[in-house]
Every structure is written in C-alpha cells, then in structure tokens.
C-alpha cells in the first residue's frame, strides 16, 4: 500500500530549497526590474523610494550601447567557441572510441583534467602564458618573428575563448563518449556485415545516435557562454581590451555593485535568463525537427 | 529474497566502471574479457599506420591540455627572479619548490590553508546534502504517481536552464534582508540545490529500480522512508557518485556566488583568495610567486581526484543514458 504523503516528504527539502534559492530570487529580480529607485538628498541620505517604472529599465538596458555590444560579443563568441569546442569534443570522442587509439583511458583523463580546475584558476594559469615577460609562448613566437599580444583589445576575446575551450572540451567529450558507449554492439556488427566503412559508421550510425548528447552539450555551452564572467573579470586587470561591461553578466554585476542601480542590474539579469531560455528552446526545436526528418 | 536480488543487480550495474582498472573479482574479470573481445572485433580492420597517426594526434591534443599544468609545476620551483628571467618551459637556476610552498602556506597569517579548508567545507557539505536531496526528489518523481508530478519536473527542468548568475544577484538581496550575507550560510545554502542532480536521479531511478523490489519491501512491511534509505539508495549508487562529483566540482569552481556574497577574506574559498593574491601582483611582484605556488597547490589535489574518480563519472552517466 502506498502512502500519499511519501513522495512529498521525499521532495520537501529539494522543493523548499528550490523555492527559496531559485523561485523567490527570480520573482524578486522580475519585480526589481520594473522598479526604479529615486534617492532624495545630495547623496541619498534622506532615504530612497522605489517607483514603478514600467519597461524603463529594459529600454535603458537595450538602448545602452555597452550592453548591446556585450550581447553581440557573446553571440560572436558563442558561434565560434561553442562550434569549435563541440566539433573538437565530438572528434576526440570518436577517435578515443574508434579502437584505433592506444591508451584511450590515459588520454581521456588528460583531456578531462581541466574540468576540475576552476575557471578563475584556469584563467590565472593561462594568464601566465599570456602575459609578456612571463609567457614562454610569447617568447617562442618572438624568436620566429611573430609578435602577439594575447591580451590586446582585438585578440583578448579569443584568448578567453581558448580558456573556456580548454576547460570544457574534455567534459563535453565525456558526455559524448557516454552516449557512444550506449550504442548496442549489434548495430556495429550489422553495419560491418553490410560492408560499411569507418567513415560511413560515423556518419550513418554514431553521429545520429549521439544527437541527444550533442544537444545537451550545446545547450549547456550556450548557457555557459551567456554566463561568461570569471574569465573576463580576472583578465580585465591585465587587459585594456576588457571594460566593466564586457559581457552581459559583467554588466549586470557592475550595475548592481558599482553603479548601485539594482533596477537596471535586475533587468539585465532577466534579459540574460530569457536569452538563455530562448536559445536553448531554439536548439531543442531544431534538434527535434532534424530528428523527425531523419 | 529481495536482498539477494539487490546485491546481484548492484554488482552488474557497477561492472562497466571496473573495465579500465581491472580490479580483482570473478564478475569484473569476466566483464573485462567480454569488453576486450568486443573491442578486438572492432579493432580487427584497423591498420597499424592508422593507429600511429591517431595516437600521434591524440598526443598533440594532450600536450595542449597539459601545458598550463606543466608550466605551473615547473615555475613553482623558481625564485621570483628566475620566474621572469628564465624560459617558462624549463626549470630555473634555483630549485626552491619547498620554500615557495612554505611561503604559500604561511603568507597573510596562513590565509591559503584557510581558503582551502573553506573550499572543502562549501564543496563537501554542499555536495553531500545537495545529492541526498536531489536523489530523494528524483526518486520520488520517478517512482510515485501523484498529481502535479509532471508539472514539478517541468518546473525544475526550467531551473536547470536559468543561469546561476541570474539568481545570484537577487539572492544577495534576499540574504542581505535576513542578514545572511557575508556568512558561511550565504554560500552553503544555494549550494544545497542541484536541479541537474534531480534530472539525473530521475532518469536513473526510473531505469534502475524495478517496481517489484519496492513492492517486495512494502509487503515485508517496510515504511516508504525505510525502503528509500535501505533499498533505493543502494541501487542508485552510480547515479549518486555522479551527482556528488558534479556538484562538488560545480561548487568548487563557483566564483560568482561567493564573490557576490562574501566580503570577509576569512570566508573566501580558494578561487576568490587566489585571485586576490593575483590582483596584487601589479604592485607587489612577490605575489607572482605566491600565486603560482597557490595555483599549483589548488590544481594538484583536484587533478588527482578527477583522474581517480573519472571512471565513476563515466559509469554513472552511461548507465543512465543506456536505459533512460
């Protein structure tokens, strides 16, 4: 006999935490994003009053050139970095599972290792390899006559992309490998009997069957791109190319803690979350449509 | 009867993870051989030249992933002078790894060990409780029929998609109202939630827990909580290990949340603390050596953990996706 309360008891701690640390903050962010604070007195010492401001904050955010530029920058970053990373993860996963590689366990561990290194620490590590005078890479490139400033305004975005790719390629590769391992052996057997070559196995069997894993990694990567914060924030003290509104998240952070404009910060946070939703939904939608066709 | 079926099925669920290490035991040995054989049938057509080319390619890629770690190991042994004066890819004139590490551990009145302990506290406590809560809720969603079940799942799934940084700012407002900011709780409480863990636990529980086991438990008169704690948790071990690892790494790597919540350096996790040191290198070059040493100390334990536990990570995820 099943008791009716059992599932609710099991879910209670999770749901309470979910309510307190996700639902309530999201509601507050939405409410805040429609408010504007007017301070009275010279430095606001006479108190501050919140007013309903309608879409004022959203309009301000979307017409703020720094913010729209940061979104455009993340779109460019996402299109290039996510593509490169997912393609690399897929190729590495296929190679490691192809059985023509030696010591796959060793390579898998080496590729996955950066995932355990926090973004901040990874950025500090890579910054050592970017900073002129400290970086052996800059030295070596200098010997052959190439002068690069990895922290220069035009390159620093791709230096950040490199750090993100370095951190997450192995992680995404493992998700894809897990799905590759789940392909039943008799499918390969059937393909072999039908005379399919290795390339044909990849394109007709492996790639279609790992589509769910690819979608998962792409969606998480899109969300990750929109959240980009630690890497540019750490590098900003070393690079003149990164201002305090370089990414949407840096912008929201700056408005909340430097400019003390919570309405604007909340509006930007809501826009970031909405963008993550829309892009993820779009990715899922495209995936489903492709799935129905094949 | 229910115990014997539990034991046998839990060994089979864990078998895939023993493949690479070849731990002793008849069951896993057989699995290793079966796996080897499967590998060989697929290897049969591979030419040795292909193997060499593929392996060479994989070595080059491995170099890319290991270069920063190699750099930090080499340069943690140098004096500040050598750090700038000698090539970063090889050792300097002096070897002072141990005195450097001593400096890291004692600088700022032992700040670094304190940050490390804080990181362990946040990640350890956070991951254990988050996993327990997520598994309990995921199991409930998978194995009980009740009104609102799908709605709750859809709601939580939405939570997976909301960027963590989007909730951190309003969470700061909530916590500052109730006086929780700049305390251990301000970082711990949000870390207790793992929507992704619930997602994994639900997939895994619906695949790995046969209704018959639960029914057998109920017939024996066990309460629902007892069934969960004695039968279900054991069945879910691979998923539990995976969620635990995920959450531990996620909390350990989190930067935005502690940055927003904490002002007191004593409460900092390693990430914030080390970046504090790095930020001071502009004015005080000796902080370069401290940052390099600190980076080494924070990378090594996690690197070992990742490599050792990698097989669990894989085992857990694979099982979930095979059947889910």
Alpha carbons B86 and A90: distance in angstroms, whole number: 38
A29 assigned to some structural domain: no
- What is the nearest CA distance from B271 to chain A, expressed in angstroms? 6
Q: Do B163 and A276 touch (CB under 8 A)?
A: yes
Q: Are residues B18 and B101 in the same domain?
A: no
A4 assigned to some structural domain: no
- What is the nearest CA distance from B26 to chain A, expressed in angstroms? 22
Question: For residue A272, what are its two tokens?
Answer: 């970031």
Q: Are residues B171 and B241 in the same domain?
A: yes
Helix or strand holding residue A35 (H, E): strand A35-39
**B-chain residues within 8 Å CB-CB of A188?**
42
- What is the nearest CA distance from B130 to chain A, expressed in angstroms? 8
Alpha carbons B136 and A18: distance in angstroms, whole number: 14
pLDDT attached to residue A70: 92
- In chain B, the residue whose alpha carbon lies closest to the alpha carbon of A14 is B133
Q: Are residues B313 and B225 in the same domain?
A: yes
Q: Are residues B135 and B191 in the same domain?
A: yes
Decide: helix, strand or coil at residue A236: coil
- What is the nearest CA distance from B50 to chain A, expressed in angstroms? 7
Q: Shortest CB distance from B156 goes to which of A18, A98, A110?
A: A18
Q: Are residues B106 and B47 in the same domain?
A: no
Parallel/antiparallel/unpaired status of strands A48-52 and A35-39: antiparallel
pLDDT attached to residue B32: 47
**A-chain residues within 8 Å CB-CB of B198?**
14
Alpha carbons A294 and A283: distance in angstroms, whole number: 17
Closest CA to A108 of B290, B138, B306: B306
**B-chain residues within 8 Å CB-CB of A173?**
none
Q: Are residues B212 and B283 in the same domain?
A: yes
B125 assigned to some structural domain: yes
Q: Do B169 and A265 touch (CB under 8 A)?
A: yes
Mean of all residue pLDDT scores within chain B: 80
Q: Give me the mean pLDDT over the A168-179 stretch.
A: 89
Q: Give me the mean pLDDT over the A231-239 stretch.
A: 90
Domain that holds residue A90: 62-293
A152 assigned to some structural domain: yes
Cα atoms found within 13 Å of the Cα of residue A150, Cβ hemisphere only: 25
**A-chain residues within 8 Å CB-CB of B292?**
128
Domains: count for chain B: 2
Q: Is B308 exposed, middle or buried (0-12, 13-18, 19+ CB in 10 A)?
A: exposed
B92 assigned to some structural domain: no
Q: Shortest CB distance from A136 goes to which of B41, B89, B132?
A: B89
Question: For residue B42, what are its two tokens?
Answer: 């697929």
Q: Are residues B168 and B271 in the same domain?
A: yes
Q: Shortest CB distance from B162 goes to which of A22, A112, A179?
A: A22
Q: Are residues B268 and B171 in the same domain?
A: yes
Question: For residue B176, what are its two tokens?
Answer: 């500052």
Cα angle B137-B123-B119, degrees, rounded to a multiple of 5:
165
Burial A69-92 (b: 16+ CB within 10 A, else e): ebbebbeebbeebbeebbebbbeb
Provide the pLDDT confidence category of residue A195 given band limits of 50, 70 and 90: confident
Task: Quote the radius of gyration of chain B (alpha carbons, Å).
Answer: 24
Q: Give me the mean pLDDT over the B83-104 stretch.
A: 83
The answer to whether the complex's ipTM is over 0.90 is no
Q: Do A32 and B170 touch (CB under 8 A)?
A: yes
Is the CB of residue A211 less than 8 Å from the CB of residue A291? yes
Q: Are residues B45 and B105 in the same domain?
A: no
pLDDT attached to residue A279: 84
Q: Shortest CB distance from A99 goes to which of B43, B255, B310?
A: B43
Provide the pLDDT confidence category of residue B46 given band limits of 50, 70 and 90: low
Q: How many beta-carbon pairs below 8 A join chains A and B?
A: 283
Cα angle A282-B147-A27, degrees, rounded to a multiple of 5:
50
A105 assigned to some structural domain: yes
A117 assigned to some structural domain: yes
Mean of all residue pLDDT scores within chain A: 86
- What is the nearest CA distance from B89 to chain A, expressed in angstroms? 6
Q: Are residues B44 and B131 in the same domain?
A: no
Closest CA to A62 of A211, A214, A275: A275
- What is the nearest CA distance from A154 to chain B, expressed in angstroms? 23
Q: Residues A25-66: pLDDT tens digits?
A: 989 889 989 988 776 665 555 666 778 878 889 999 999 999
Place of tokens 């170099």: B63
Interface test with B, best of A2, A10, A273 (most B CBs within 10 A): A10
Interface test with A, best of B58, B130, B138, B317 (most A CBs within 10 A): B58
pLDDT attached to residue A45: 59
Domain that holds residue B34: 1-63
Of chain B, the end-to-end C-alpha distance in Å amounts to 27
Q: Do B274 and A121 touch (CB under 8 A)?
A: yes
**Which alpha helices (DSSP H) does B44-96 contain, by range?**
48-75, 80-85
Higher pLDDT, B145 or B318: B145
A174 assigned to some structural domain: yes
Closest CA to B191 of A20, A256, A287, A281: A20
pLDDT attached to residue A5: 87
Domains: count for chain A: 1
Q: Shortest CB distance from B46 goes to which of A9, A100, A219?
A: A100
CA distances from A68 to A152, A235, B93 (A): 22, 21, 50
pLDDT attached to residue B134: 96
B273 assigned to some structural domain: yes
Decide: helix, strand or coil at residue A227: coil
Q: Which of B40, B63, B86 is the last residue of a domain?
A: B63
B237 assigned to some structural domain: yes
Question: For residue A227, what are its two tokens?
Answer: 């959240």
Q: Which of A197-206, B1-10, B221-230, B263-272 has the lowest mean pLDDT?
A: B1-10
Q: Which of B63, B85, B105 is the last residue of a domain?
A: B63
Question: What CATH number does the domain containing A128 carry?
Answer: 1.10.3720.10
**B-chain residues within 8 Å CB-CB of A102?**
51, 55
Q: Do B67 and A25 touch (CB under 8 A)?
A: no
Q: Give me the mean pLDDT over the B65-77 stretch.
A: 90
What are the DSSP calls for B268-295, one per residue? --HHHHHHHHHHGGGT-THHHHHHHHHH
Q: Are residues B174 and B282 in the same domain?
A: yes
B82 assigned to some structural domain: no
- In chain B, the residue whose alpha carbon lies closest to the alpha carbon of A135 is B88
Q: What share of chain B is helix, strand, coil (3-state, %, to 5)?
A: 80, 0, 20
pLDDT attached to residue B40: 45
CA dihedral B314→B315→B318→B320, nearest 10 degrees, is: -120
Alpha carbons A288 and B218: distance in angstroms, whole number: 40
Decide: helix, strand or coil at residue A206: helix
Q: Are residues B129 and B47 in the same domain?
A: no
Q: Give me the mean pLDDT over the A215-219 stretch.
A: 85
pLDDT attached to residue A19: 93
- What is the nearest CA distance from B146 to chain A, expressed in angstroms? 8
Higher pLDDT, A218 or B48: A218
**A-chain residues within 8 Å CB-CB of B307?**
109, 112-113
**A-chain residues within 8 Å CB-CB of B54?**
95, 98, 100-101
A52 assigned to some structural domain: no
Alpha carbons B217 and A14: distance in angstroms, whole number: 25
B83 assigned to some structural domain: no
A234 assigned to some structural domain: yes
Question: What CATH number does the domain containing B250 carry?
Answer: 1.10.3720.10
CA distances from A94 to A97, A170, A226 (A): 5, 13, 28
Burial B150-168 (b: 16+ CB within 10 A, else e): eebbeebeebbbbbbbbbb
Q: Do B173 and A92 touch (CB under 8 A)?
A: no
Q: Which of B63, B81, B110 is the last residue of a domain?
A: B63
Closest CA to A185 of B32, B312, B41: B41
Q: Do B322 and A223 touch (CB under 8 A)?
A: no
Q: Do A112 and B306 touch (CB under 8 A)?
A: yes
- What is the nearest CA distance from A53 to chain B, expressed in angstroms? 18
Q: Do A178 and B20 touch (CB under 8 A)?
A: no
- In chain B, the residue whose alpha carbon lies closest to the alpha carbon of A196 is B45
Q: Residues B114-160: pLDDT tens digits?
A: 999 999 999 999 999 999 999 999 999 999 999 889 899 888 887 77
């Amino acid at each position: 006999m099943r008791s009716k309360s059992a599932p609710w008891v099991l879910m209670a701690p999770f749901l309470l935490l979910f309510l307190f640390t996700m639902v309530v903050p999201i509601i507050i962010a939405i409410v805040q994003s429609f408010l504007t604070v007017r301070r009275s007195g010279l430095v606001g010492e006479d108190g501050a009053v919140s007013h309903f401001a309608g879409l004022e904050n959203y309009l301000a955010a979307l017409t703020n050139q720094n913010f729209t530029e940061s979104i455009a920058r993340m779109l460019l970053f996402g299109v290039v970095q996510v593509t490169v990373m997912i393609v690399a993860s897929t190729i590495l996963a296929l190679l490691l599972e192809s059985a023509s590689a030696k010591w796959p366990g060793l390579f898998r561990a080496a590729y996955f290792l950066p995932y355990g290194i926090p973004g901040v620490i990874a950025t500090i590590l890579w910054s050592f390899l970017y900073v002129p005078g400290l970086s052996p890479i800059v030295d070596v490139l200098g010997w052959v006559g190439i002068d690069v400033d990895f922290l220069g305004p035009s390159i620093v975005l791709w230096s950040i992309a490199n750090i993100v790719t370095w951190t997450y390629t192995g992680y995404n590769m493992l998700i894809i490998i897990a799905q590759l391992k789940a392909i039943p052996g008799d499918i390969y057997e059937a393909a072999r009997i039908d005379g399919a070559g290795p390339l044909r196995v990849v394109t007709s069997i492996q790639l279609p069957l790992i589509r769910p894993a690819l979608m998962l990694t792409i969606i998480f990567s899109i969300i990750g791109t929109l959240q980009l914060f630690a890497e540019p924030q750490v590098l900003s003290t070393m690079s003149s190319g990164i201002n305090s509104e370089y990414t949407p998240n840096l912008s929201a952070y700056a408005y909340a803690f430097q400019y003390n404009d919570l309405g604007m910060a909340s509006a930007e946070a809501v826009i970031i979350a909405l963008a993550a939703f829309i892009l993820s939904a779009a990715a899922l939608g495209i995936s489903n449509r492709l799935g129905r066709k094949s | 009867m229910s115990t014997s079926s539990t034991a046998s099925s839990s060994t089979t669920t864990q078998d895939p993870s023993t493949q690479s290490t070849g731990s002793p035991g008849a069951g896993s040995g057989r699995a290793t051989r079966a796996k080897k054989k499967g590998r060989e049938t697929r290897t049969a057509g591979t030419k040795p030249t292909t193997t060499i080319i593929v392996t060479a390619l994989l070595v080059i890629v491995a170099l890319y992933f290991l270069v920063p770690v190699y750099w930090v190991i080499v340069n943690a042994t140098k004096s500040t002078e050598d750090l700038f004066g000698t090539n970063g890819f090889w050792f300097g004139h002096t070897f002072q790894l141990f005195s450097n590490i001593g400096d890291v551990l004692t600088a700022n009145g032992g700040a670094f060990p304190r940050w490390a302990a804080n990181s362990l506290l946040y990640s350890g406590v956070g991951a254990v409780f988050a996993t327990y809560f997520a598994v309990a809720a995921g199991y409930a969603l998978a194995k009980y029929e009740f009104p609102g079940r799908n709605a709750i799942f859809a709601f939580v799934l939405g939570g997976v998609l909301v960027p963590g940084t989007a909730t951190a700012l309003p969470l700061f407002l909530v916590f500052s109202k109730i006086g929780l900011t700049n305390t251990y709780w301000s970082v711990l409480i949000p870390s207790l939630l793992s929507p992704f863990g619930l997602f994994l636990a639900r997939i895994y529980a619906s695949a790995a827990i046969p209704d018959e086991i639960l029914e057998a438990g109920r017939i024996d008169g066990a309460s629902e909580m007892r069934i969960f704690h004695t039968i279900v948790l054991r069945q879910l071990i691979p998923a539990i290990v995976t969620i635990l690892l995920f959450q531990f790494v996620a909390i350990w790597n989190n930067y935005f949340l502690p940055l927003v919540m904490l002002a007191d350096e004593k409460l900092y996790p390693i990430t914030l603390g080390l970046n504090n040191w790095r930020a001071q290198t502009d004015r005080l070059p000796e902080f370069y050596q401290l940052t390099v040493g600190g980076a080494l100390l924070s990378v090594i334990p996690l690197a070992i953990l990742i490599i050792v536990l990698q097989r669990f990570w894989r085992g857990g995820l694979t099982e979930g996706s095979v059947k889910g």
